[in-house]
Structure 1
Amino acid sequence: MNGIDRSSSILREHFEEHRTKLSRSELAVAEHLVKMPIDVLIFRSAEEIAAETGTSDATVIRTAKRLGFSGLPELKRVSGRVMARTISTSERLEQRFRATGDDLEKVATQMFATAREVLTSTEEQMDGAVLASAISIVEEADTVWCIGMGTAEVEARHCAIALSRAGVRTRCSSASGFTLANELIDLRPADVIVMFHAVRETAEFKLIVRQLGDIGCKVILVCGVQLRAKYADKVSAILTCIGSPSKLASWSIGAIVIADLLAYGVAVRNQQQATDAKKRLADLRDQALGND
């Protein structure tokens, strides 16, 4: 990447495989994408690429699909993986500064657009049958443990709060190492784990999933596409969140929505339980404020 070849070899491979299927305008877009440095490509919107190639945003999106991707977000995400592996986080931040500039109004527009992209991509990955299965697993649990691995503490805590308000008994942890081991002593086979993990596989993550399987707990994994491929047969259900290679919007956006879907799904199926939980919460709040 460092000054040698900043374009995407994966994208070039897709281009060579599919180029004969492209129309003239699609070929113009594809050739433009192939030549574009990755650290530029991941910040480009369909509208910007269309303006640069004299085409339309619909043509850009269609070209991404013709090249074998689900759309432009996946094209950027797959192309950007090599950058994530080979460039330090500080260098990526510097690239982000260069790409966005310091016009905060423009930056806000980019960030909102990326957030919409994250949500749209996450929705496209949603499998209704898997979601329904995950909700059923939560319904049957004695206690639902919401565990946030690495940076995913906020998502796990949000999920635990949302489920508790639907009448589900929950526990939450963002601990690691020996501390997490001490907390998991209380696990029982009738418990369910909802585990949030935003990044790549780690030794600790592998160990925990294996240990949970040994205990007999069912595991719902909320993760990205790479972990989904590796753990499809190792957990009870996988719900996929899509991040953005530009990092202008957080993976957490999709994860929070998935947590809300789980909680609301349980509430809809168990409306009296959810209503009773809301009433208890309101009573406790009144007591805490001295309004009883």
Structure 2
Amino acid sequence: MEATDRTSQVLKEHFDRHRSSLSRSELAVAEHLLTMPIDVLIFRSAEEIAVETGTSDATVIRTAKRLGFSGLPQLKRICSRVMAKTTPAVNRLEQRFRATGDDLVRVAGQIFSEACEALTSTKDEIDEQSLYCAVGIIEESDTVWCLGMGTSETPARHCATALRRVGMRTRCSGASGFTLANELIDLRQKDVVVLFHALRDVAELKLIVDQISAIGCKVILVCGVQLREAYRGKVSAVLTCLGVRSKLASWNLSAIAIADILAYSVAVRNREQALAAKKRLADLRSRVGIAD
């Protein structure tokens, strides 16, 4: 079976490598995936593929794993990388419009489904050692700097607020260039930087990591899979967040979940500190007339 210009050569290679190990139903699913254009495949759920192939969603998920992927989300993510690099953003948005249609109830259902897929995929990527390392680093810090580049400023600000509410001293910035340089003058060796950045390994990211490390600060990078591989040995800890290739759900959803995990983990390991911070917050709110 040949891959076309709109289908995935990567998937074809996986199929050729593993086809002999597939059952009859798994083979049906695999062949269906191989003939499906990537700009269609990335919007398909396991349930929809199961209906199209007369199988079950469990069979679809099992087929993705038999083909050498961790599951359907990774299959879609890896097979669509070439499309993401070569297809202009405007064209990708047009593809999204065609795939979702304009039935708002159906669109809402698709977005909820994609959000669940992103969170589940991120849960599967959690590395226990990296999580314990990151929490320990935060606990020992003087100030936690939460930095977010571009749209990643949103989870960075969420992380700073969540950590502050459990008793950590935090600062936050979404700045870049000269403005960020001015802010980072205040960094000290006992500070920790939690850096949120999803995808592209831009020159500014490299510079920030190099400069922060040179000061002696520890860096926790919250990022996607590709940046994880590029920076695993360059920072103190890497926590991986996954989005969805369809872009119907934001990477920030997963990053915010990671921020909540970090803050709550600090709280449960430092309960008196967290309770004292909660009391101070409640007292401050009461003074400005806000009920807790």
Considering the TM-score relative to the shorter chain, is it more than 0.5? yes
Q: In structure 1, what is the Cα distance between the partners aligned to 2:269 and 2:258?
A: 17
Q: In structure 2, what is the Cα distance between the partners aligned to 1:278 and 1:162?
A: 11
Q: TM-score, normalized by length of structure 2?
A: 0.96
Letter of the aligned partner of 1:23 in structure 2? Answer: S
Q: In structure 1, what is the Cα distance between the partners aligned to 2:285 and 2:55?
A: 57
Q: In structure 2, what is the Cα distance between the partners aligned to 1:121 and 1:290?
A: 38
Matched, 1:22 2:19: no
Which structure 1 segments of 5+ residues have no match? none
Q: In structure 2, what is the Cα distance between the partners aligned to 1:260 and 1:58?
A: 30
Letter of the aligned partner of 2:91 in structure 1? Answer: E
Instruction: Write out per-residue CA displacement over residues 4-47 of structure 1, whole angstroms, 9 at most, x where no aligned residue.
Output: 71111111111111111111111111111111111000000111
Instruction: Write out per-residue CA displacement over residues 182-232 of structure 1, whole angstroms, 9 at most, x where no aligned residue.
Output: 100000111000000012110110111111111111000000000001111
- Match in the other structure for 1:195: 195
Q: What is the alpha-carbon root mean square deviation over aligned residues?
A: 1.2
Contact 1:191–1:217 (Cα < 8 Å) also in 2: yes
Letter of the aligned partner of 2:211 in structure 1? Answer: Q
- Match in the other structure for 2:273: 273
Q: TM-score, normalized by length of structure 1?
A: 0.96
- Match in the other structure for 1:210: 210
- Match in the other structure for 1:58: 58
User: What displacement does 1:111 show?
Assistant: 0.9
Contact 1:151–1:198 (Cα < 8 Å) also in 2: no
Q: In structure 2, what is the Cα distance between the partners aligned to 1:47 and 1:276?
A: 47
Q: Secondary structure at the match of 2:222?
A: strand
Q: In structure 1, what is the Cα distance between the partners aligned to 2:282 and 2:56?
A: 52
- Match in the other structure for 1:226: 226
Q: In structure 1, what is the Cα distance between the partners aligned to 2:88 and 2:180?
A: 28
Q: In structure 2, what is the Cα distance between the partners aligned to 1:240 and 1:92?
A: 25
Letter of the aligned partner of 1:51 in structure 2? Answer: V
- Match in the other structure for 1:5: 5
Q: In structure 2, what is the Cα distance between the partners aligned to 1:182 and 1:288?
A: 33
User: What displacement does 1:129 show?
Assistant: 2.1
Instruction: Write out per-residue CA displacement over residues 112-151 of structure 1, whole angstroms, 9 at most, x where no aligned residue.
Output: 1111111110000011221111111000000000000121
User: What displacement does 1:290 show?
Assistant: 8.7
Q: In structure 1, what is the Cα distance between the partners aligned to 2:215 and 2:41?
A: 45
Q: Secondary structure at the match of 2:147?
A: strand
Q: In structure 2, what is the Cα distance between the partners aligned to 1:194 and 1:288?
A: 31
- Match in the other structure for 2:161: 161
How many residues matched? Answer: 288
Moved over 6 A (4+): none
- Match in the other structure for 2:77: 77
Which structure 2 segments of 5+ residues have no match? none
Letter of the aligned partner of 2:121 in structure 1? Answer: S
Question: What percentage of residue pairs aligned between the two structures are identical?
Answer: 69
